Chain A
Amino acid sequence: MIALGQFLEVLIGGLMSGVLYSLVALGFVLIFKASGVFNFAQGAMVLLAGLALVRSLDLLVANGFPLWVAIVLGIGFAAVIMAITAWLIERFVIGPLVNQDGLTLFMSTIGVTFILEGAAQMIFGSGSYPLRLFPTDAWFLFDNLFPGGILVNKLDVWGGFIAGILVAGLAIFFQQTKTGRALRAVADDHMAAQSVGIPIGWIWFVVWLVAGLVALVAATVWGTKLGVQFSITFLALKALPVLIIGGLTSVPGAIVGGLIVGAGEKIAEVFLGSYIGGGIEYWFAYVLALAVLLVRPQGLFGERIIARV
């Protein structure tokens, strides 16, 4: 029975890393829901938030602030940076492109990606910076059931916990607050929302800000896992198949899609990888997304696309 213990361990590890994909995917979904913009820059925003946080943290600690003050100030600083970024993006890129088709907006976010990547690294440095906010050691569970137990990383559990809080918070924000209702109205129909007096520019700023804050959360978890470095932007590319599988407009879809991708790629890597050369993780998610696209283009939870092709 080596298989069951190992399988469970791989499954749990995969699900937990899937939660991290979900964190990035959430940012995409928020922006897409509220403005119809497919935000390629989400990965760059994670990088920017992470760099702002880790660099300010280092600076504050080096200047003798106690750790908890440094963490609070650092997170506050990173949040301000994300707010400024959100305002700049809304003001100079997305605002002037109102009513353009989705493709143009998508390509403009590729441009934003490049700007953010360049600016973030120029301002905050381009090395790899370790971030220590969460414990990274491991638990061994059920070692009475399986020989050696099941190894579970504490960080992954933290990640899952944070993602849960985030989703709950976003749900309350979207359903219960005035701004949240306005957001949903804008997502439904720009023109109608504007004509009942919803300030569309402000709403888009809020959306980008929320996406930036989600990026900040993702950055804290990913940064603890991998260190804050440039390769974190590739997360954005990993989050794309998550979105396709879950559905572009669905918050639960982002979570479930992330879990499916995380678990699927780890299981495929461990149990199939050895037969066909390893490294399946690299493309598994994309091919899964391709299959989903062919069978169910709207994804598992997405709204039905009425546009005919």
Chain B
Amino acid sequence: MLYREAGQFKTTYAEDMAIFPIHQDRIALAILLGIAFIGVPLLADFDIWPFGSDYLLRAILLPFLILALAAIGVNILVGYCGQISLGSGAFMAVGAYSAYKLGTGVHIPLAWLGFAISIPPLPVLLSILLGGLTAAVVGILFGIPSLRIKGLYLAVATLAAQFFFDWVFLRVAWFTNYAPSGSVNAPTLDFFGLNVGTPIERYMLCLIFVTVFAFLAKNLVRGNLGRQWMAIRDMDIAAELIGIRPLYAKLTAFAVSSFIIGVAGALWAFVYLGSWEPLAFSIERSLQLLFMVIIGGLGSIMGSFIGAAFILILPIMLNLLPTQLGVPLSTETITHLEFIIFGSLICYLLIKEPHGFARLISIGKEKLRLWPFPY
């Protein structure tokens, strides 16, 4: 009854092609954004449980936002362009470390030439974005094999990126500014003179990033470029025959995806972790991101958010539930259970609903359109 588009007439082409053509969708989105932008800070300000505690913001909402952003990046590559990648963690690391280097000043001594290249420390915002850009360049480099190989072979090629960069950031001391322990600290988060320190400020910062990039990504994938990616994904030979250049389409997918993942990596390091070491971006991170995308829905921006939320919240629930039920389980058992449940869910979803939770939601929407009548 409530969710019905009858009577919403589109009179112009622009209206018909709007990003959210259904009125109710726009309202729902506005409410959601309102809660995220105004509701959460207000609740936190008035100390209303559970928003008053730092725990929710710091341990759930912050990683959720950043990983959702990374998942959007992965989704562009895997879900929209169909190029499987197991190297997302590496691209996050590239984003994080290049942002770190740019944020703390780059100094390249060229002793044999007799001079050194020095770049003074850049503002944080700029270094995060440039970190994303560096990740994009690296992404293009590791995307080049995708022009000759596909599918599983490409997965192994991206795995090479993962292990190579793990090693680079662990062993090449230049990237960590010769920190003896190998772990580095983020520069102070100074945005146009505003110091972002408290959890709620960090939350707002990430929220802004995520909102902007989600809208950009949503518009990108329904535009010319996104349709090229999807054509390549669905059938590359047919796409080539109708005039899509695989080189251009694939490499742009790698670039855009790595850019977003790189920005997410920089945020993860700067805003969430604060101080980190290469282990933060290991192969487990890559697999986690891939699962978020599969569970949430391949080829869906909204799915990336659902997948990120699900993968983050499931372990927390698994930790809470047994104690609530009075069946104490050891942390080890919980970790193993988590493994089993994740694995089963992935298999189940791949068999029953290959398009993930996002598909379930759109099926729900279809049902809602007719409700309460059967047709």
Contacts and interface: CB of A to CB of B under 8 A. Distances in A.
A118 B170 contact: no
A6 B164 CA distance: 27
B167 interface: yes
Given A277-B171, A279-B167, A115 B157 contact: no
A282 interface: yes
B152 A38 contact: yes
Interface string A27-45: 0000000000010000000
Given A126-B332, A309-B236, A297 B164 contact: no
Interface in B145-192: 145-153, 155-157, 159-160, 163-164, 166-167, 170-172
Contacts of A241: 156, 160
B351 to A, nearest CB: 5
A283 B156 CA distance: 12
Interface string A87-113: 000001100110010111011101111
Contact of B351 (A97, A102, A290, A309): A97
A114 B346 contact: yes
Contacts of B155: 106
A26 B51 CA distance: 53
B343 A113 contact: yes
A10 interface: no
A26 B118 CA distance: 51
Contact of B339 (A115, A280, A308): A115
Contact of A107 (B150, B171, B350): B350
A92 B347 contact: yes
Contact of A290 (B145, B236, B246, B354): B145
B159 A282 contact: no
Given A103-B84, A241-B156, A309 B149 contact: yes
A156 interface: no
Given A118-B336, A293-B157, A282 B163 contact: yes
B152 A293 contact: no
B340 A114 contact: yes
A297 B148 contact: yes
B166 to A, nearest CB: 7
A287 B159 CA distance: 9
B150 A111 contact: no
Given A121-B336, A277-B172, A309-B246, A293 B347 contact: no
A118 B167 contact: no
Interface residues of B, number: 49
Interface in B299-356: 332-333, 335-340, 342-347, 350-351, 354
A278 interface: yes
A103 B151 contact: yes
A107 B294 contact: yes
A283 B145 contact: no
Nearest to A117: B339
Which of B159, B236, B246, B283 has the most chain A CB atoms closer than 10 A to its own CB? B159
Nearest to B160: A286
B148 A97 contact: no
A309 B147 CA distance: 7
A215 interface: no
Nearest to B337: A118
B344 A283 contact: no
B171 A278 contact: yes
B29 interface: no
B159 A237 contact: yes
A286 B160 CA distance: 5
A24 interface: no
B287 interface: yes
Interface string B275-307: 000000001000100110010000000000000
14 contacts: A93-B351, A102-B151, A106-B155, A111-B343, A111-B346, A112-B343, A115-B339, A122-B340, A237-B163, A276-B171, A282-B167, A290-B145, A293-B156, A294-B145
Interface of A: 38, 92-93, 96-97, 100, 102-104, 106-108, 110-119, 121-122, 126, 237, 240-241, 243-244, 248, 276-280, 282-283, 286-287, 289-290, 293-294, 297, 307-309
Q: 8 closest Cβ contacts across the A-B interface?
A: A118-B339, A114-B343, A111-B346, A115-B343, A286-B160, A118-B340, A111-B347, A122-B336
